[in-house]
A and B are shown apart, each in its own frame.
Chain A
Amino acid sequence: MKETDANKPAGIDKPPFFKSWKGMYWLVLGNLAFLITLFYIITKIYA
């Protein structure tokens, strides 16, 4: 029974600053890409 419940849509509130949660997720992943790029540049500059 509960397995079926798990597939029902939940009442999920909206995130701040973005129209949907996708925007928040892209912010986190974009931040990760930015940090890795920055760290790569730091590694190259100071090698």
Chain B
Amino acid sequence: MRLLDWVVLLGTLGFIVSYGVWKTRGSKDIEGYLRGDNSMKWWTIGLSIMATQASAITFLSTPGQAYEDGMRFVQFYFGLPIAMVIISVTVIPIFYRLKVYTAYEYLESRFDLKTRSLAAFLFLVQRGLAAGITIYAPAIILSTILGWNLTATNLFIGVLVIIYTVSGGTKAVSVTQKQQMAVMMGGMLVAGFMVVRYLPDNVSFGDAVAVAGKMGKMNVVDFSFDWNDRYNFWSGMTGGLFLALSYFGTDQSQVARYLGGRSVGESRLGLLFNGLLKIPMQFLILFIGVMVFVFYQFNQPPLFFNEAAKTKVYATEFAPEMEALESQHTALFNQKQEAVQGLVSALRTEDEAAISAAQSKVQGITDASKELRTEVKSLIAKATPDAETKDTDYVFISFVMKYLPAGLVGLLLAVIFSAAMSSTASELNALASTSVIDIYRRSVKPDASNMHYVKASKTFTAIWGGIAIIFATYASLLDNLIQAVNIIGSIFYGTILGIFLVAFYFKYIKGNAVFFAALIAEAIVLYCHFYTDIAFLWFNVIGCVAVIVFGLLIQFALNQMDKGKQAA
């Protein structure tokens, strides 16, 4: 890190935090603190929704995923615009009419207290875990790449977020997310421009896309159906739709964003704004990853992108083996560079036979490179058993650190910190509002003053922030934690969505039926997770459908029992 990078990074983050605190200063009532006085315009809501969803992992992992797997991950978002329309039509008007602070408040008016408390509890467990990971995931990568202390990095992100989220509540979260989105998108556009600019002089942008296509990276849409395939058109349109309905319709970290709108119309426009722009945004981030892949066809990539993990191997008895693999990697790259240049020339001739021959040659070397990478991962696992052998999260950041000029490195780090802060802020704000409104005010201290609940909200925000930092600090002690938290999200989301869909559309089903149906649905999802190979995205569909089906059956049984009692 050079001085200019530090100035850009600290200047950007310092400005955003100071602006958030200053803009939302002054005493507030609970309405202002948790709903932002219903003063938000649609573009603030839209940007806030996008910034909440875009965590640091979006910017670290997504380009790496495209590098490894191509563009197909974009299909995961195909259900999102449909979900935005459904929520705009059905959910928003109901939440506004009931003037709720949290989504779970509605469940008590529709069902009963135990169903509201169950949904709030599931949310607190799931989001409480996720908040720690939102901080930990970028911190572990940045501390590895930059040599920073992991605990200090966790504290840096966590404390900055706590400062403005405790100070300004919902409004501070939304106001800062506008700047954070500007930094994120501006930074990514600059990175995309730079990677294309760094391609060899004889390789145009069109050549780069054509090479990516011939190497299987422009696989944007796949209509073939496979239950076990995580990303295809069908899983995106069904699993993705259910996940988006659940996330945007029932997860308080998103619901709070549009409940702060000036009107139903402003909130709807904010959501639809997200429905229009989310897929192009993800496409852009993935495409930058594909361009990084093309860049590395002409510039030698590291054998393993997590250099720190590789360095540790050199300190062991396995160093000679690693050196041998590095030599093979260099030799393969030299062959590959020649083959890829041949492919570019063949593509220009438009001679199908020549293209096919060049493509086969490149593919052969690519397969050999993949085998070599597999060998390196095995060696790392053998030499340092605790090391993480997945390096896709390091692809983009290692490109940034090695090739971008001074100032831009600071800007791209600001992108990653902004993303971590924006999603963490929404999570802390939502955790605090659910703790206060659905648990503390409802069941612990119902008759306190308005200012008491503001103080309680600030206290809970700080407590959840502290828990997130502690969890982030000790997260490295658990294996595959990030994947575990993602799966936990899908395990709970389907059930929560099912409860809300029943509330909105199945007036026949009452409180007791939906409560027990939710417990059965959760058991089914857990069975699928532990005893089947079904991809976790489908848990959202299974949990949701199970709540509806069992809700109908239990309600029917309860009605029959009532009729029997009355007849007796």
Asked whether B486 is an interface residue with its Cβ less than 8 Å from the other chain, the reply is no
Pairwise interchain contact B272-A6, C-beta atoms closer than 8 A = no
Of the candidates B71, B82, B263, B272, which one forms a contact with A13 in the assembled complex, judged by CB atoms under 8 Å apart? B263
Pairwise interchain contact B98-A47, C-beta atoms closer than 8 A = no
Of the candidates A8, A13, A29, A43, which one forms a contact with B221 in the assembled complex, judged by CB atoms under 8 Å apart? A43
Q: Which residue of B lies closest to A5 (CB)?
A: B97
Pairwise interchain contact B220-A43, C-beta atoms closer than 8 A = yes
Shortest CB distance B91–A (Å): 11
Range of interface residues on chain A?
Answer: 20 to 34
- How far is it, in angstroms, between the C-alpha of A31 and the C-alpha of B222 when the chains are bound? 19
Most B C-beta atoms less than 10 A away, residue of A1, A5, A6, A11:
A6
Pairwise interchain contact A31-B221, C-beta atoms closer than 8 A = no
Encode contact with A along B221-264: 1 for CB under 8 Å, 0 otherwise. 11000000000010000000000000000000000000000011
Q: Which residues of A contact B529 (CB under 8 A)?
A: none
- How far is it, in angstroms, between the C-alpha of A28 and the C-alpha of B46 when the chains are bound? 14
Asked whether B96 is an interface residue with its Cβ less than 8 Å from the other chain, the reply is yes
- How far is it, in angstroms, between the C-alpha of A24 and the C-alpha of B276 when the chains are bound? 10
- How far is it, in angstroms, between the C-alpha of A37 and the C-alpha of B449 when the chains are bound? 56
Pairwise interchain contact A10-B220, C-beta atoms closer than 8 A = no
Q: Which residues of A contact B88 (CB under 8 A)?
A: 21, 25
State how many residues of chain B have any CB contact under 8 Å with chain A. 40
- How far is it, in angstroms, between the C-alpha of A3 and the C-alpha of B279 when the chains are bound? 36
Asked whether B275 is an interface residue with its Cβ less than 8 Å from the other chain, the reply is yes
Question: Given that A3-B109, A32-B82, A43-B220 are contacting pairs, would A12 and B276 also be in contact in the complex, using a CB cutoff of 8 Å?
Answer: no
Pairwise interchain contact A29-B109, C-beta atoms closer than 8 A = no
- How far is it, in angstroms, between the C-alpha of A29 and the C-alpha of B85 when the chains are bound? 8
- The total of Cβ contacts below 8 Å across the A-B interface reads 93
Pairwise interchain contact B265-A13, C-beta atoms closer than 8 A = yes
Shortest CB distance A45–B (Å): 7
Pairwise interchain contact B218-A46, C-beta atoms closer than 8 A = yes
Of the candidates A6, A14, A24, which one forms a contact with B97 in the assembled complex, judged by CB atoms under 8 Å apart? A6
Asked whether B74 is an interface residue with its Cβ less than 8 Å from the other chain, the reply is yes
Q: Which residue of B lies closest to A40 (CB)?
A: B221
Interface residues of B in 74-121 (CB under 8 A from A): 74, 78, 81-82, 84-85, 88-89, 93-94, 96-98, 106, 109-110
Pairwise interchain contact B280-A35, C-beta atoms closer than 8 A = yes
Question: Given that A32-B82, A43-B219 are contacting pairs, would A6 and B109 also be in contact in the complex, using a CB cutoff of 8 Å?
Answer: yes
- How far is it, in angstroms, between the C-alpha of A36 and the C-alpha of B71 when the chains are bound? 13
Q: Which residues of B contact A42 (CB under 8 A)?
A: 218, 220
Q: Which residue of B lies closest to A22 (CB)?
A: B89
Most B C-beta atoms less than 10 A away, residue of A15, A29, A35, A47:
A35
Q: Which residues of A contact B209 (CB under 8 A)?
A: 46
Shortest CB distance B523–A (Å): 28
Shortest CB distance A30–B (Å): 10
- How far is it, in angstroms, between the C-alpha of A8 and the C-alpha of B97 when the chains are bound? 8
Of the candidates B78, B106, B221, which one forms a contact with A32 in the assembled complex, judged by CB atoms under 8 Å apart? B78
Pairwise interchain contact A47-B218, C-beta atoms closer than 8 A = yes
Pairwise interchain contact A45-B213, C-beta atoms closer than 8 A = yes
Q: Which residues of B contact A40 (CB under 8 A)?
A: 220-221
Encode contact with A along B187-225: 1 for CB under 8 Å, 0 otherwise. 000000000000000000000011011100011111000
Shortest CB distance A9–B (Å): 8
Asked whether A2 is an interface residue with its Cβ less than 8 Å from the other chain, the reply is yes
Q: Which residue of A lies closest to B109 (CB)?
A: A2
Most A C-beta atoms less than 10 A away, residue of B82, B106, B222, B275:
B275
- How far is it, in angstroms, between the C-alpha of A37 and the C-alpha of B81 when the chains are bound? 15
Q: Which residues of A contact B214 (CB under 8 A)?
A: 46
Q: Which residues of B contact A1 (CB under 8 A)?
A: 109
- How far is it, in angstroms, between the C-alpha of A15 and the C-alpha of B89 when the chains are bound? 13
Pairwise interchain contact B268-A6, C-beta atoms closer than 8 A = no
Pairwise interchain contact B221-A10, C-beta atoms closer than 8 A = no
Pairwise interchain contact A32-B265, C-beta atoms closer than 8 A = no
Q: Which residues of B contact A21 (CB under 8 A)?
A: 88-89, 268
Q: Which residues of A contact B221 (CB under 8 A)?
A: 36, 39-40, 43
Of the candidates A2, A24, A32, which one forms a contact with B268 in the assembled complex, judged by CB atoms under 8 Å apart? A24
- How far is it, in angstroms, between the C-alpha of A31 and the C-alpha of B110 when the chains are bound? 35
Pairwise interchain contact B97-A29, C-beta atoms closer than 8 A = no
Pairwise interchain contact A46-B213, C-beta atoms closer than 8 A = yes
Of the candidates A25, A35, A47, which one forms a contact with B213 in the assembled complex, judged by CB atoms under 8 Å apart? A47
Asked whether B181 is an interface residue with its Cβ less than 8 Å from the other chain, the reply is no
Q: Which residues of A contact B222 (CB under 8 A)?
A: 43
Asked whether B496 is an interface residue with its Cβ less than 8 Å from the other chain, the reply is no
Q: Which residues of A contact B74 (CB under 8 A)?
A: 39
Interface residues of B in 38-89 (CB under 8 A from A): 71, 74, 78, 81-82, 84-85, 88-89
List, sorted by A's number, 14 A–B pairs whose CB atoms are closer than 8 Å.
A5-B98, A6-B97, A10-B97, A12-B93, A25-B85, A28-B84, A28-B276, A31-B276, A32-B279, A35-B283, A36-B233, A43-B218, A43-B221, A46-B214
8 A-B pairs with the lowest CB-CB distances in the bound complex, closest first: A46-B213, A2-B109, A13-B265, A46-B218, A39-B220, A32-B81, A28-B275, A39-B221
Given A2-B98, A12-B264, A35-B280, output 13 extra A-B contacts at Cβ < 8 Å. Answer: A6-B109, A10-B93, A10-B96, A10-B264, A12-B263, A13-B266, A21-B89, A24-B268, A24-B272, A27-B272, A32-B275, A40-B221, A46-B214
